[in-house]
A and B are shown apart, each in its own frame.
Chain A
Amino acid sequence: DVKVTQSSRYLVKRTGEKVFLECVQDMDHENMFWYRQDPGLGLRLIYFSYDVKMKEKGDIPEGYSVSREKKERFSLILESASTNQTSMYLCASVYMGQGRHEQYFGPGTRLTVT
Chain B
Amino acid sequence: DQQVKQNSPSLSVQEGRISILNCDYTNSMFDYFLWYKKYPAEGPTFLISISSIKDKNEDGRFTVFLNKSAKHLSLHIVPSQPGDSAVYFCAAVNGGSQGNLIFGKGTKLSVKP
Contacts and interface: CB of A to CB of B under 8 A. Distances in A.
Interface of A: 2, 4, 31, 33, 35, 42-43, 45, 48, 56, 58-59, 90, 92, 94, 96, 99-108
Nearest to A101: B32
A23 to B, nearest CB: 11
Contact of A105 (B46, B53, B93, B100): B46
Question: Which 10 A-B residue pairings sit nearest by Cβ, starting from the closest?
Answer: A105-B43, A101-B32, A45-B100, A108-B43, A107-B43, A105-B44, A104-B46, A99-B51, A106-B43, A42-B103
Question: Interface range on chain B: under 10, 10 to 19, 20 to 34, or 35 or more?
Answer: 20 to 34
Contacts of A33: 99-100
Contacts of A101: 31-32, 34, 49, 51, 93, 99
Contacts of B44: 90, 105
B102 interface: yes
Contacts of A58: 98, 100
